[in-house]
Structure 1
Amino acid sequence: MACTYRVYLDRTVAPPMFGIESTKGIRSRRLSTDYRAVYQLAQQCNIHGLSPIHLYDVVEDFCRK
């Protein structure tokens, strides 16, 4: 079964922020308050079949923008 990614909302600390979680249980929290940007990142991860072991590298690059 392929790993897929989705956006989730983290409300544990203000302000609420979006993160990405995978079907394999890997989660990257509080990436941005911009839903669209995080959604597009998750979609690109899905389109390219990103392995969960590379998620943190992709997130690091995303946060540098």
Structure 2
Amino acid sequence: MAQEIYAYLIVYQALRRGMHRTARRLDIAPHRVSFTVALRAARHSVVTADHQQPEDSAG
């Protein structure tokens, strides 16, 4: 149970850090970035990465 809580906290902190970096890059206040939108974007990128086919390295 403790591992699951730590996992959620790590994901939360990673999202918040990414939101802060995005806000700095766009020169807006960090509180203007939506946590819900960031969470949906992260979920979408994980699902998209999971469905990508590996490249054929044999040629």
Quick check: TM above 0.5?
A: no
Q: Which has a greater percent of helix?
A: 2
Higher Cα Rg, which structure? 2
Q: Which has a greater percent of strand?
A: 1
TM-score (norm 1): 0.33
